[in-house]
Structure 1
Amino acid sequence: MVEIPTGQRRTRICLVRHGETEWNAARRVQGHIDIGLNENGMRQAAAAGRWLKSAGIAALYSSDLKRAWTTALAIGEAIGLTPQPVPEMRERCYGVFEGLTYAEAQQKYPEGYAAFEGRNADYAFETGESLHAMYDRVTGKLQQIAAAHPGQNVVVTLHGGVLDVINRFVRGNPLEMPRDFLIPNAGINWISTVDGRWTLESWGETAHLEEGALDELPS
């Protein structure tokens, strides 16, 4: 076993994407629109809770959007914790894309969709949020959560777009780089930090789920 020097206490954070929604299944852009879980999503949330029951979780945080919050409530019931809302972990605001399927967004806003698909980090969907702005709010809160729980295990339930930027933050990859990892609904992802150094421990775990957990997000 590798010993951590005195004064260095590793914080482990389990990031759980919300369970499936009908809009996930339809490949419809949700963003800040407050969509609830479908029946499969409810089962996935309960399964994530059972999986984490023996993980020694000290605190539970969640985006305040319904699909993440309901997932957190199911996890909290299993592990005996009440979720704390963190609006900073909301999904990206997709502006004029929200409510459209990806195909509809591409047809209605071809130039904007090309910027989105090309991961232009300054593009903000006319009335939405750029990747740069989202990255700042998400990673700032992530570091606050870690600082509040030295040496503990914490769960945060959140969204696909949020997981996308956290993965890049932890690995030190640029926002513009094409995605090379999965973000399944109710997938379990472990990251950790000690003295400001971040490590990706595991990503996209789905052993607790039935086959077919969706990753409907563009790469």
Structure 2
Amino acid sequence: MVEIPTSQPTRICLVRHGETEWNAERRIQGQIDIGLNENGVRQAEAAGRWLQGAGIVALYSSDLKRAWTTALAIGAALGLKPQAAPEMRERRYGIFEGLTYVEAQQKFPDGYAAFEGRNADYSFENGESLQVMFARVTGKLQAIAAAHAGQTVAVVLHGGVLDIINRFVRGNSLEMQRDFLIPNAGLNWVATVDGRWHIESWAETDHLAPGALDELPA
């Protein structure tokens, strides 16, 4: 006897924002409001063209400029207006924000070791721990899914947010070293049905020119 699914999957396309100058400089942005560079604008437009015909009925975005500008480009291609989701902002890196990874390691060696070691309780100074970020991000992800049961939606967000969602969907710990890529303007599809989540595809970049930058550090 064939088992009939109890409900249709809710599919969510998670799009990392396009490239910024600080991405190119390997500089920690956090919640500093950096805009896209020219390549990032092209990436956002390419993502929008690629997603035409994907059946997306709603578009959400972090309200930070680099994500919101990406969402506006995608929305223009899809005929959708983005809805602000501040819960999907990048992690607050506190005293690390504005520094390159090398500078952060040199200035704050102990803090950087905790950060690089993925200490889930470490919150920098004036920053945010992985545990706190996990709660805000996954809470909003589940709320979006509940609001669009059985539909397909898109969410524009940040590298650190994608890191959290990948672990949530796969059931992996926050402390585990990253084993997946998070390229600028990459497309990442997750789905949920009856409360069970899974990844459909991750880090799609066929719509982009070669060289999309990965979120650092791994």
Report TM bin, short chain: over 0.9
Is 1:20 equivalent to 2:19 in the alignment? yes
Structure 1 ranges of 4+ moved more than 4 A: none
Measured in 2, the distance between the counterparts of 1:213 and 1:9 equals 33
Provide, for residues 101-152 of structure 1, a one-character-per-residue CA deviation record: whole Å limited to 9, x for no partner: 0000000000000000000000001110000000000000000000000110
- In the TM superposition, 1:28-47 aligns within 5 A as 28-47=27-46
* Alpha-carbon spacing, 1:4–1:193, altered in 2? closer, same or farther (3 Å): farther
Q: Percent identity?
A: 79
Quote the residue 2:103 is aligned against.
104
Quote the residue 1:49 is aligned against.
48
TM-score normalised to the size of structure 2? 0.98
Measured in 2, the distance between the counterparts of 1:162 and 1:185 equals 13
Measured in 2, the distance between the counterparts of 1:19 and 1:124 equals 26
- CA shift for structure 1 position 216: 4.0
- In the TM superposition, 1:196-211 aligns within 5 A as 196-211=195-210
Supply the AA of the counterpart residue of 1:167.
N
Is 1:5 equivalent to 2:12 in the alignment? no
Supply the AA of the counterpart residue of 2:163.
D
Measured in 2, the distance between the counterparts of 1:5 and 1:179 equals 33
Is 1:95 equivalent to 2:94 in the alignment? yes
Quote the residue 1:171 is aligned against.
170
Quote the residue 1:186 is aligned against.
185
List gaps (5 residues or longer) in structure 1. none
Q: Is the 8 A contact 2:28 2:98 kept in 1?
A: yes
- CA shift for structure 1 position 9: 2.3
Supply the AA of the counterpart residue of 1:45.
A
Measured in 1, the distance between the counterparts of 2:164 and 2:5 equals 30
Supply the AA of the counterpart residue of 2:170.
R
Quote the residue 1:160 is aligned against.
159
List gaps (5 residues or longer) in structure 2. none
- CA shift for structure 1 position 3: 6.9
TM-score normalised to the size of structure 1? 0.98
Measured in 2, the distance between the counterparts of 1:93 and 1:196 equals 29
Q: Please state whether the residue corresponding to 1:189 is helix, strand or coil.
A: strand
Measured in 2, the distance between the counterparts of 1:195 and 1:128 equals 35
Is 1:148 equivalent to 2:151 in the alignment? no
Quote the residue 1:218 is aligned against.
217
Q: Please state whether the residue corresponding to 2:200 is helix, strand or coil.
A: strand
* Alpha-carbon spacing, 1:38–1:10, altered in 2? closer, same or farther (3 Å): same
- CA shift for structure 1 position 5: 2.3
- CA shift for structure 1 position 12: 0.1
Supply the AA of the counterpart residue of 2:147.
A
- CA shift for structure 1 position 60: 0.1
Provide, for residues 5-37 of structure 1, a one-character-per-residue CA deviation record: whole Å limited to 9, x for no partner: 24x221000000000000000000000000000
Number of positions where the alignment pairs a residue of Structure 1 with one of Structure 2:
217
Quote the residue 1:195 is aligned against.
194
